[in-house]
Structure 1
Amino acid sequence: MYAILDIETTGGKYNEEGITEIAIYKFDGHKVVDKFISLVNPERDIQPFVVNLTGINSNMLKSAPKFYEVAKRIVEITEDCIIVAHNAQFDYRILRTEFKRLGFGFKRKTLCTVELSKQLIPDQASYSLGKLTRALGIPVSDRHRANGDAMATVKLFKMLLSKDLDKHIIKSHVKTEINKRLNDTHKTIIEALPAITGVYYIHDENGDIIYIGKSKNIKHRINQHFTNTSTKSKKLQLLAKSVTYEATGSELVALLKESAEIKRNKPLYNRALRRNIFTHALYSFVDDHGYINLKIDKTHANDEAITTFSNMQSAKSFMFRALEHYSLCQKLTGLYPTKSNCFNYTIKSCNGACINEESPEDYNKRVKELIAKNSYDNKNMIIIDQGRDIDEKSVIYIQNGVYRGLGFFDLNHQINTLEVLESIITPMENNRDTQHIIQSYLRRNKRVKVLSI
């Protein structure tokens, strides 16, 4: 658990400041599960520049609770939590100072979103909360008030978690949690998981990731892992002490994240990422008569494929559908080996490219349509799919035919420039696996929104 907070103070000399407002959101890594927001009577003067900045004045605080009256609630909501704040050193120091005045030793682990942002979102013009959230398209209301700034920090931290590809934040947190509940049963772990689409991580007692997977129903999939009797499942059951997950909403995002993070984290019980995930591919060549021929073959490392397939059967199914949709020739697609005309020509379903009756220009025009539809080579485009919440969408960014990364955006925020798009994108590696995953997903999901940019 994380306690994401923001504090407004009176200003003044170091360690003599008092709290005027505090907002704390208890965050489980996915959603807010508790919150506490309150004005606080600091029992001291507020600096004029602070009044101008926050709008909080002494008259507003006369009837507000004093710190000792809210201290118990602060202890309770932050217990067993890591404190997260934008410039955490400041907020944590102020809290500890207030508790010290009460004779109470307040101690928590902390994470600073300024430092995390510098590591995970480098090269930003500014890391102040206002400018950073604006650059990332994170909506902020009530700027310089504890509640508004704390909620903005929640949204920022959620984005930082998704950009933490090495999972340093989660691994550190899981190790702390596991030490407190080593005796938990698998049933308890399963009950805490949601039935949503995403990527899941199985951890050992040291917090290390031993297996990564993706599922449209994480709860159901983990239940399968913990009840299966295969040798691999039994090993996982023996070592598994915790399961964390990352909601993606989109199955495509889950597939891409799973592929990238298996490569990056190399978990003990993930096989080396299956190199035969795509065994066959569609290639093209121009014959002596100027016709573009299509050919299904086993994938070749050095040849540029139009699109790839998991097996020969799916490749042939694709070609038979394409043959009908684009009125192509059986012979020139490799589906009817012959030295004369194809069978479809005899039943008037082929225009005669197989015997040079249809001009190469007319025939090739339809072949090029198929190639353009099923290859994103040299294209600039974004794929928009489901988000993690009802008011969010996921976005996959392809630049000049190269997969650049993925991210999420709020429906209230417009992606109107490439700079905004690139700021919300988590950079990812482009490789044959990602090309296959994206092309295969788009073939299976015709309703996914694809925009040229």
Structure 2
Amino acid sequence: MYAIVDIETTGGYAARNRICEIAIILHDGEKVVKEYQTLINPERHIPPQLSAIHGINDQMVEDAPKFYEEAKTIHELLEGNIFVAHSVNFDYSFVKAAFQDLGYELKLKKLCTVRLSRKIFPGLKSYSLGNICENRGIKINDRHRAFGDAIATAELFTQLVQHDTDNHIQKSLKKNAAVVNIPENLERTVFEDLPESPGVYYFLNQKSQIIYVGKAKNIKKRVSNHFGGSKLEVAKQAFQSQIHHVDYYLTGNELIALLHESHEIRKNWPRYNRAQKNNSPGYSIYLYEDRQGYKRLQLGRKQTGMQSLMRFPNHASGFSFLNEVSKKLKICPKFAGIQSSPGTCFDYSVNLCEGACAGEESVSQHNEKIQAFIDHCKAEKSDYLLIGEGRNINETAFVLVEDGFYKGFGFYTQEDSIEHWEEFSNYLIQYPDHPEIYKILSSEHATRHYKKIKKEGFLKRTESA
């Protein structure tokens, strides 16, 4: 399937500009089978000189969806198809940059209708879309708008296919196919034997030391991306010459790949991994008691040996939780560690604090609120499982969290009869807890294919059975 794309933008190059309109026409090689178009809010000003060309201004895109809101639909239309456009590198660079901003790498085969037209319809003075469509009798409705130009490009593509007696389209696809340049110190058989399954892969040097760790939905495809492209592009990756072996660990799904990758990077500190080399212990809410007997809360860096009520990957998430819950329970913000002052808190001066900081609220009354905060934290730290696909059709994968702490992951088969919660520990591969893990477990994208089962729900189900 061919995805014929046309975009309108806020400027001439993708590094500093954004898409403000996109149209995608799916073409099966003979005819159009699907159409899609939408304005996009580029989240920046559209210069008047560009508006004069395509007619799109700031007011028109003010209520339009942002790219990330349409990204799933756009990705579904493009995935697995051949990206076709008139001057394809322009359109492709913008779409690729938009997905890169969301953390996705767009890798599609491309066809340029300008280049194909020069070969299949030679001899024209100009191969601009307007000129070649006029020459071929193709009417362009709404010129310089994404949908109008995309429909015209689709009609042009139909004619290119019909007149391609020398197979220029197939030759272009073959020429542009990704080249896998195996590093000189890596045996090709090692690469060829890599699985096309989810997991974590390792690049090892001559001394069998791990120099890079990555995760992938398809290990072989992802590794080939490291080696793909021209020799000049490969040379830009300094570690290519140091790769003597590729190892891997199958996980069955992306979530466990993410969890295992995070652990392996922090465990091995590979030379060429930049991300996740942060051993920050995160932040915690601590409980202590002052000389008057008032129990107080404090948000700070996690410290070894101190028991925390709740843990957070960063200060912002911890402060948000502390502020929200303490306000709900009417805990003095000074005693909650939210405000600091030599005297009473600011809220007391505007009658929003019940006076613990002024000695007007009794120790017992205040400490009851702190106990309610502690109970709230305990309720938040429930025991649960995330259940998903394993490494084969008979296997199930699980991630275990108990008392709010990540315990690790494991796998079990249909033959393993698990009737009690404690039995999951028999199949658990234990891993150390880390703030980075909670970013992964709280990601809807990472956990979207998993079913969450709380301990109390599991116990009720087994008891009723």
TM over 0.5: no
Higher RCO (CA-CA < 8 Å; seq separation 6+): 1
